[in-house]
């Protein structure tokens, strides 16, 4: 069975190290699978253990208590808890519940005053205590890893290592999710925790527990991504596909939890600045991939023309259609 590569990225985090070998590995993984695992990332292992423990405590609470921070209470910020089946993928309700977070902004921020979608303060539960500090620390550390990886991707594409920070991620859109997948019923073989999809932005960094269940579609087959201790699963999104004119592809993936126990996953999305306009890189080394494919959603990221924020809002509105109609469309 073919496995995704595990890449030690510590050289990207050390000023005196030569990152070329790591850069080449990342570039090859982005071209072949769009997915790779990362070790040597520098994220505090104890912090990860604390985050998992707090998350399990939260999801074990009764829905009546969790609903005190449900997403409708956050308005246009789209933060907080949603129940099992509350998110939709390709028109089908996911078999998961979750918590949505993003960059913490207070009411004085002009983007919050203007009601810009997906911007605002987070909703944190009263129980368990410590969730706020742990989540914000986690987002900060993993976002720093995202900056390291995106510099490695830039070097792999043959552009200046700070190109993204200067042109596309000056103020990156950072979104973080905590998902809980109950065990899939043995008799419901067609029910996925989340169905086939791609991610929307540049780069996703996923921390998962040891339950397994993530599958990636590559080279005409579905590959199981087995959990490996102290690693992140990284994948590229639609905007990196557009940026590279299809040389890098946002790879479809899905989840089905057959472990017999609740599965936790922690994806953080490191995406373009809200107002950025993503266009293909103007370098001769990047040519449009000759391979054609039909996406499950019938859409084509290379055809998108507009601000990233509009693309993201369009995608999230399909994942939460009722919330969109009740909150965003009326704002």
**Token representation of residue 247:** 């040389």
Q: How many DSSP H helices and E strands does the chain contain?
A: 9, 14
Q: Give the pTM.
A: 0.94
- DSSP reduced 3-state for 139: helix
Q: How far apart are CA 173 and CA 167, in angstroms?
A: 13
Q: How far apart are CA 115 and CA 76, in angstroms?
A: 6
Q: Nearest 5 degrees, angle CA 118-CA 203-CA 294?
A: 95
Chain centroid to CA 221: 22
Position 290 scores a pLDDT of 47
Class of domain 6-328: mainly beta
Tell me the domain boundaries of the chain: 6-328
Question: Of 80, 122, 130, 78, whose CA–CA distance to 103 is shortest?
Answer: 122
Q: How far apart are CA 131 and CA 79, in angstroms?
A: 14
Per-residue pLDDT of the chain (331 residues; tens, 9 = 90+): 678 999 999 999 887 788 999 999 999 999 999 999 999 999 999 999 999 999 999 999 999 999 999 999 998 899 999 999 999 998 889 999 999 999 999 989 999 998 899 999 999 999 999 999 999 999 999 999 999 999 999 999 999 999 999 999 999 999 999 999 999 876 555 578 999 999 999 999 999 999 999 999 988 899 999 999 999 999 999 999 999 988 898 999 999 999 999 999 999 999 999 999 999 887 655 454 445 556 666 667 888 889 999 999 999 888 988 877 776 666 5
Position 122 scores a pLDDT of 97
Position 285 scores a pLDDT of 54
Judge contact between 255 and 216, C-beta under 8 A.
Answer: no
Position 233 scores a pLDDT of 98
């Amino acid at each position: 069975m073919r496995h995704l590569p595990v890449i030690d990225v510590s050289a990207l985090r050390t000023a005196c190290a030569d990152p070329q070998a790591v850069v080449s590995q990342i570039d090859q993984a982005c071209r072949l699978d769009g997915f790779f695992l990362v070790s040597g990332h520098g994220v505090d292992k104890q912090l990860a253990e604390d985050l998992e423990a707090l998350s399990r405590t939260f999801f074990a609470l009764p829905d009546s208590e969790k609903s005190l921070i449900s997403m409708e209470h956050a308005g246009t910020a789209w933060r907080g808890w949603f129940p099992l089946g509350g998110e939709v993928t390709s028109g089908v309700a996911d078999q998961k519940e979750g918590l949505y977070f993003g960059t913490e902004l207070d009411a004085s921020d002009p983007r919050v005053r203007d009601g810009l979608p997906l911007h605002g303060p987070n909703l944190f539960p009263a129980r368990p205590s410590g969730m706020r500090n742990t989540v914000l620390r986690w987002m900060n550390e993993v976002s720093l890893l995202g900056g390291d990886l995106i510099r490695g991707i830039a070097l792999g594409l043959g552009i200046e290592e700070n190109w993204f920070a200067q042109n596309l991620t000056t103020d990156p859109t950072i979104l973080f999710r905590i998902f809980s997948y109950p065990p899939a019923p043995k008799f419901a073989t067609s029910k996925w925790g989340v169905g086939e999809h791609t991610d929307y932005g540049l780069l996703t960094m996923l921390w998962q527990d040891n339950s397994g269940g993530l599958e990636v579609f590559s080279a005409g087959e579905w590959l199981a991504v087995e959990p490996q201790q102290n690693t992140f699963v990284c994948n590229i999104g639609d905007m990196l596909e557009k940026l590279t004119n299809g040389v890098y592809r946002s790879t479809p993936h899905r989840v089905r939890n057959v472990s017999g126990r609740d599965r936790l996953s922690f994806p953080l999305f490191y995406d373009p600045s809200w107002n950025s306009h993503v266009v293909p890189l103007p370098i001769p080394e990047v040519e449009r991939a000759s391979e054609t494919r039909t996406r499950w959603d019938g859409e084509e990221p290379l055809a998108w023309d507009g601000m990233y924020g509009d693309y993201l809002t369009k995608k999230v509105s399909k994942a939460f259609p009722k919330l969109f109609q009740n909150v965003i469309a009326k704002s």
